[in-house]
Amino acid sequence: MSLEKTEAIVLRAVEWSETSLVVTLFTEDFGKVSAIAKGARRLKSPFESALDLLSLSSVVFIAKSGDSLDLLTEAKLQRRFRSSQIGLLPLYCGYYAAEFVQTMTENHQPIPGLLELLLKTIEDLDERKDPASVTLRFELHALQKLGLLPSFEVCVGCGESIDTTSPTVALSASGGGVACRRCSPAQRNVLRIETNTLQVLREVSECNPIQELKIVTSKSRGEVRFVMEHVIGHVTERRLRLIDYLEELKR
Ligand SMILES: [Zn+2]
């Protein structure tokens, strides 16, 4: 047992008892933290709005060993997620980012840079930046930090650069990325995607996610979503719940 102090973004909060919540937080130093917040459901909660979804809060918790839930002792709100005042799409994109991080990470396993990326994502949604572009940047850079980004440059079979002069390329999520003409027949679950779409995925995954936002044009949006749903579905082995709320990103 140890007392820890850190910054956290709230990913989820569920009822635990008449007066308490179990909250799932994401932190830079400890990765995901699942903790009981005693008294959080009381009218005069000691945590006030610091445990609202996607709030950035400074928290103090007692880390327990093994599978036991940690115990949250303090949470002070630093920044509130405000997209509900803007519209449903940015709100759902924020909730989707929370579900993504919740699903892809393990308790007490830090993922360097992921907290900063998640914070930048919700700040940009709050600032009315294009939800389709913000979401794609989040997905690609989060996959990169998790070590799960597919190869978009070289063939997963032979390691050679992919020919981008032909109109389409083969991509296999289970194979780990793009495959050249010779290697693609040996790959399973191959998608044929437009080379233009591959260029969009490359550009966004190579940008600095904290400093720039590459805008995805409406021409590429449909296929970009198709590829990301396929790639993320392969990693999570199930469809994330919030993906069904993001249809509008395809237009
Ligand atoms: Zn090859």
Distance 166 CA to ligand 1 centre (A): 15
pLDDT at 65: 85
The type of residue at 212 is E
Distance 232 CA to ligand 1 centre (A): 23
* For residue 12, pLDDT beyond 80: yes
Q: Which residues surround ligand 1, an ion (CB under 5 A)?
A: 155, 157-158, 180, 183
66 confidence band (pLDDT: 50, 70, 90): confident
Cα separation values, 86 from 124, 177, 200, 222, 225, Å: 12, 36, 27, 23, 23
pLDDT in tens, 121-140: 999 999 999 999 999 999 99
Distance 164 CA to ligand 1 centre (A): 13
Tokens of 171: 């991509």
44 confidence band (pLDDT: 50, 70, 90): confident
- Mean pLDDT over each residue of the chain, to the nearest integer: 95
Distance 156 CA to ligand 1 centre (A): 6
Average pLDDT over residues 54-76: 94
pLDDT at 237: 87
Distance 101 CA to ligand 1 centre (A): 32
pLDDT in tens, 183-209: 999 998 899 999 999 999 999 999 999
* For residue 215, pLDDT beyond 80: yes
Task: Tell how strand 70-79 and strand 31-37 pair up.
Answer: parallel
Q: Which residue segments constitute the domains of the chain, with CATH numbers given?
A: 1-80 (2.40.50.140), 98-251 (1.20.1440.120)
* For residue 219, pLDDT beyond 90: yes
pLDDT at 2: 87
Provide the percentage of residues in the chain whose pLDDT is more than 70. 100
pLDDT at 1: 75
First-to-last alpha carbon distance for the chain, in angstroms, is 50
pLDDT at 154: 96
Distance 161 CA to ligand 1 centre (A): 8
Using CA atoms in the order 150, 124, 216, 243, what is the torsion angle rounded to 10 degrees? 60
pTM of the model: 0.96
* For residue 220, pLDDT beyond 90: yes
